[in-house]
Each structure stands twice: as C-alpha cells, then as structure tokens.
Amino acid sequence: MSSSVIRLWIMASITVVMLTIVTLPSASAEVRTETVEYSDGNVVLQGFFAWDPDRVSGDVPGILVVHQWMGLTEYEQSRCKQLAELGYVAFALDIYGKGVRPSSQQQAAETAGIYKKDRQLYRRRLNLGLQQLRSRKGVADNKIAAIGYCFGGTGTLELSRSGADISGVVSFHGGLDSPTPDDGKKIKARILVCHGADDPFVPAKDIDAFKSELTAAKVDWQMIYYSNAVHSFTQPMAGNDNSRGAAYNEKADRRSWEAMQQFFDELFGVTNATP
C-alpha cells in the first residue's frame, strides 16, 4: 500500500471518529438542587429545590414536599430528587425554621405539637412554602400538588383545608384528625391517602371523622390501606419492628409511590413527567 493511500485512509478514519464524537448525544444532566431561604415575619425558613434540566422543558408540574416531625432532613431531599427524576420541579418546605431540627423523638413531638395545636400557624407556613414553589420559574401555576409524610401528611390535608388552589395532595401515613370539619368545604384539591392498615397511631374515630368531613364537603378523595404496614412505612430509618408501631415496609413504600404517580398522571394528564 502506497504512502499516499495510507495517508488518505488515516485522514478518513480521523474524520469518521470526529463525526461520531460530534453526533453523539450529550450525557444526561444530573438532578440539580438548591437551598433557598424565605421567611415568616422574623422567622427564617430554609427549603430545598430539586429539578432535572433535561426533563424540564417549558412549564411543568410542581410538587411540594412536607416533612415529617424531625424537620426537613435528607429523607425529604431524597424524595425531591426522586420527583425531579420523574420530571417534576420539587420543593421541600420548612415548617419549623432554619436550624430547628429535633434531635430526639421527644423533641420532635414537642415541636410538631406547636403546629398541631395552632393550625392557623401551620397553614400559614404551608402556604408560604407553596408560594415559593408557585413562584419558581418553570413551574406551571395550574399544575401543583403536595405530598407529605407523617406530620407532613397531616400538613398536606391542612394545606388543602386552608383553601389552597392546588390540584391534589397525597398523605403518606399522616394524621387524619378533623378538628374543624367545616374547613372541608374549603378544599379544592383531590386527595389521596396512603395508610398503613395496622397503624396504631391513627385511631378509627379519626378515620371516620376524616371520611365524614370529605364526604360531606363532596371532595374527590380516595384512601388506600396497606396490609401489614404500620406508621412510617415509607421510611427506612424507622427500622423493621412492627411491634413498635412505626416501621418500614418495602412493599407498602413501593406500592404507595406507584399509587402517587398514577394519581399525578390523573391530575396532570400526559406530561414530560412520565419516564
């Protein structure tokens, strides 16, 4: 083979390689996160955003995440990232305030109790978080939902009882007490409750009152029970001992997350949130 032919062959090979590199699709961007501060009067609150730039094109649905009684932790942040991977813009709000993170269950009960006793304060903090999500660039104003865990599950219901103009809420093993049943008339959102069938912390009278409130108000609601599941069934940090009343249940966790996605599909229609 002559030297000129070899040179032509090498040049052609280099060209093919360069064209291949140019036409290869770019690697998928990772989920991006941002910590933001906002306030309730003099109280500084610190929330957490997550979104995937490759999945967000135009205005997409936004999902508000309400934390459990330990405050905004890595758990809520991980849920925000999961939602971002589905194509949503997710925001974990802060009810307690920047730096207020209980270090024990006793402290958590005391801190959560402040808001359970003062539902107006609770609702104000919930709506302030909603404002942060709603004002975020790229979030469709008419496509917003909220999810919450335990204390946060109660929070999603309180948000809807405040009359918040959102599409739907999902409560995972949340409290279901109904202290002001007439507030059910303010609810505009559709409601999905994912509940452990063996949850000892939610008495039957609360469930009955909850159902009565929503039925009387003609709210579009549904409730799913998961067998062999107790409180905190979506949270691995709860351990696996059902006898304690709070424990992780992988099957109930997976099924409830799938139920949430189906619920969102119904709320928002076919969107880029479908993998």
Whether 210 is covered by a domain: the verdict is yes
Looking at the structure of the chain, the number of domains it has is 1
d(CA 129, CA 208): 29
Q: What are phi and psi of 241, to 5 degrees?
A: -100, 100
pLDDT score at 54:
85
Beta bridge partners of 148: 66, 171
- pLDDT tens digits for range 166-209: 999 999 999 999 999 999 999 999 999 999 999 999 999 999 99
Give the sign of the dihedral formed by CA 220, CA 225, CA 231, CA 234: negative
CATH of the domain at 222: 3.40.50.1820
Whether 130 is covered by a domain: the verdict is yes
pLDDT band, very low/low/confident/very high, at 29 (cuts 50, 70, 90): low
d(CA 19, CA 265): 40
For the question of whether the overall pTM of this predicted structure is more than 0.75, the answer is yes
Beta bridge partners of 65: 92, 147
Structure tokens at 272: 């880029």
Average pLDDT, the chain: 89
Q: Would you call 147 helix, strand, or coil by DSSP?
A: strand
Q: Note the maximum CA span of the chain.
A: 92
Whether 251 is covered by a domain: the verdict is yes
Of 29-33, 143-147, 182-186, minimum mean pLDDT range = 29-33
Q: What are phi and psi of 222, to 5 degrees?
A: -150, 150
pLDDT band, very low/low/confident/very high, at 270 (cuts 50, 70, 90): low
State the average pLDDT over residues 100-109: 96
Domain range for 93 is: 30-268
pLDDT score at 1:
46
Query: Residue 207's CB: how many other CB atoms inside 10 A?
Result: 18
- pLDDT tens digits for range 237-255: 999 999 999 999 999 999 9
Whether 256 is covered by a domain: the verdict is yes
Whether 222 is covered by a domain: the verdict is yes
State the number of CA atoms in the 13 A half-sphere of 68 facing the CB: 22
pLDDT score at 245:
98
pLDDT band, very low/low/confident/very high, at 66 (cuts 50, 70, 90): very high
Query: Residue 193's CB: how many other CB atoms inside 10 A?
Result: 25
Whether 109 is covered by a domain: the verdict is yes
d(CA 267, CA 257): 15
Question: Is the pLDDT at 87 greater than 70, yes or no?
Answer: yes
Query: Residue 135's CB: how many other CB atoms inside 10 A?
Result: 10
Structure tokens at 151: 């204390």
Whether 23 is covered by a domain: the verdict is no
Question: Is the pLDDT at 38 greater than 60, yes or no?
Answer: yes
Whether 10 is covered by a domain: the verdict is no
